[in-house]
Amino acid sequence: MSTTTTAPVIPAYTKKDFESGVDPRWCPGCGDYSIINQVQRALPSAGVARENIVFVSGIGCSSRFPYYMHNYGMHTVHGRAPSFAAGLKLSRPELQVWVVTGDGDALAIGGNHFIHALRRNIDIKILMFNNRIYGLTKGQVSPTSELGKKTKTTPHGSPDYPFNPPALALGAGGTFVARSIDVEGAHLGAVVQAAQAHKGTAYVEIYQNCPVFNDGAYQNLTDKAVKADRQLRMEHGKPLLFGKDMKKGIRFDPRTAHLEVVTVGENGVKEADILVHDAHRDDPTLAFMLANLDQAPGFPTPIGVFRDVRRPTVDEITWQLVGEAKAAAKKQLSVPEFLAQGETWTVKG
């Protein structure tokens, strides 16, 4: 007698199905409202039952996120959310696990947990809200605050160079690294959906405005008058063009091995000279160069997916090893064979 199993039917969810009914308690004008809105819009297309989606957070304004989502959630320890998420994913591989964190939570006390989640390529999604400040504790300098930033803990200006989060993520071996902005709703939603579809650690840095303690941190990117010239929207398979008339572009100069800004139609520059973005390129060199693009004056800030490649995840490898160990355990061994397996020593008198 044969039996057949059918895949469970996933309900046709809407955004409202992921709203907890608890009114979010963030400051008026906080970018977190935009972020949770886009996440709730993206989840119905996940193809995952709501009870199999989990949000894990650490400590900070961003970490209130699980309370406002209508699915399972864990509010954990400062900086350690990736470790809780890793344990959950390894023990329950059928779950879709999200980590919600901030620049202080992830990159200060949680820095080690962050880089090792990327190194191990755990199948989790990490959304990091970057407002370049400690918001919950009322305005102290964070690991992404700019050099010279005056805060309550650095009244004469910060002497520390900030982290560049996407470059850090790529350096740690990230298989999916992206960036978006809280006020760019459609763009943010598309990036969240791309992260959701990725198998492996998906890291998304989200520029998020803190209207109380660091208002206008990204005004130079988001103001309508300047954003066309300041934002470089990366799309896989498309040339890296930007500007109001989409005539400016990024070209790779083989003589210097650097990226440069050029204008199509000037000095013999053709659109064919513009670098075509390849997010699926296994070699992360160009992705790393793009992540550092805006570190020099006159260059735009890239948003979109820097890198999206498929590699075996630590949870896949772990369960493969478990399966092999179980198969080996089923083999019938004699007592001498059992005792002699593994590391053994012969003691001679």
Asked if 75 and 66 touch (Cβ cutoff 8 Å), the reply is: yes
Strand bridging mode 202-207 / 124-130: parallel
Q: Could you tell me how many helices (H) and strands (E) the chain has, helices first?
A: 11, 11
For residue 344, is pLDDT > 80? no
- Highest average pLDDT, of 3-7, 68-72, 322-326, comes from 68-72
Looking at residue 329, its pLDDT comes to 75
HSE-up (13 A, CA, CB side) for residue 241 = 16
For the cut 60, the answer to whether the pLDDT of residue 27 exceeds it is yes
Average model confidence (pLDDT) across the chain: 94
| Count of all residues that appear for the chain in the document | 349
Can you list the domains of the chain with their CATH numbers?
15-222+309-315 (3.40.50.970), 234-300 (no CATH)
Give, in degrees to the nearest 5, the angle at Cα 31 between 29 and 35: 135
Percent of the chain with pLDDT over 70: 98
pLDDT over 90 percentage in the chain? 88
Q: Record the pTM.
A: 0.92
Report residue 153 as tokens: 């803990």
The tens digit of pLDDT for each residue in 198-216 reads: 999 999 999 999 999 999 9
Cα distances (angstroms) measured from residue 143 to each of 17, 58, 137: 36, 16, 14
The whole-number average pLDDT for the span 51-74 is 96
Query: Of 287, 305, 136, whose CA–CA distance to 233 is shortest?
Result: 305
